[in-house]
Amino acid sequence: MKLREIAEKLELKPLTKDLYDKDVTGVYISDMVSDVIANAHAGSLLVTAQIHNNVIAAANLVDVAAIIVAQGKTPTEDVVKMADKAELAVFATPLSRWQVATRLYEVGLR
């Protein structure tokens, strides 16, 4: 499934430049950088409430397709710039991580 389709269906707010033609192959939900490094798969969507720049560093290291920042949190401009540079799409949503997970399941991501 394309990132753009997911973003539209979940009404996610894009924070980065248009990088939304990527294919998404799964979902990983975590707020721990170490957990993301150890377990997240390339091409996955990372759903998190963390907005520290180390989340971008970890997501780039394991090549996730995009980050959804849940719980209404907003990363700082510097963090968004870092994501842009790493060609990593970041979205924001007021939904909780649980709500994001259920919506992603509903749109067909398993």
Partner 1 sequence: MTGQPAPPRYQMVNVHNGYVIIEKEVGGHAARAYFSTEPVPPKEEYREGSRIWKYGGMAQSFQFDILDRETGTVTPFREMLGLMYYGCARPGTDLRRLGELAHEDRISIYVALAYEAPDGSPRQMPIEKLSILNRAFNERLRSAEKKILIVPDCFGLYNELSHGEIMIDFGLTAMEEEA
Kindly list the residues in this chain that would bind partner 1 in the complex (CB under 8 A).
31-35, 37-38, 41-43, 49-54, 56-58, 60-63, 73-74, 76, 82, 85-87
- Of the pair 25, 99, the CB lying nearest partner 1 is at 25
Distance (Å, rounded) from C-alpha 41 to C-alpha 100?
18
Q: How far is the CB of 22 from partner 1 (least distance, A)?
A: 8
- Distance (Å, rounded) from C-alpha 30 to C-alpha 2? 22
Q: How far, in Å, are 52, 72, 86 from residue 69 at the CA level?
A: 11, 7, 17
User: How far apart are alpha carbons 54 and 86 in whole angstroms?
Assistant: 13
CB of 40 vs partner 1, minimal distance in Å = 9
11 vs 35, beta carbon nearer partner 1? 35
Q: How far is the CB of 95 from partner 1 (least distance, A)?
A: 17
Q: Which residue's CB is nearer to partner 1, number 72 or number 108? A: 72
- Tell me if 30 sits within 8 A of 36, measured CB to CB: yes
Q: How far apart are CA 69 and CA 15, in angstroms?
A: 10
Taking the least distance from each CB to partner 1, the nearer of 42 and 107 is: 42
Residue 88 C-beta: closest distance to partner 1, Å: 10
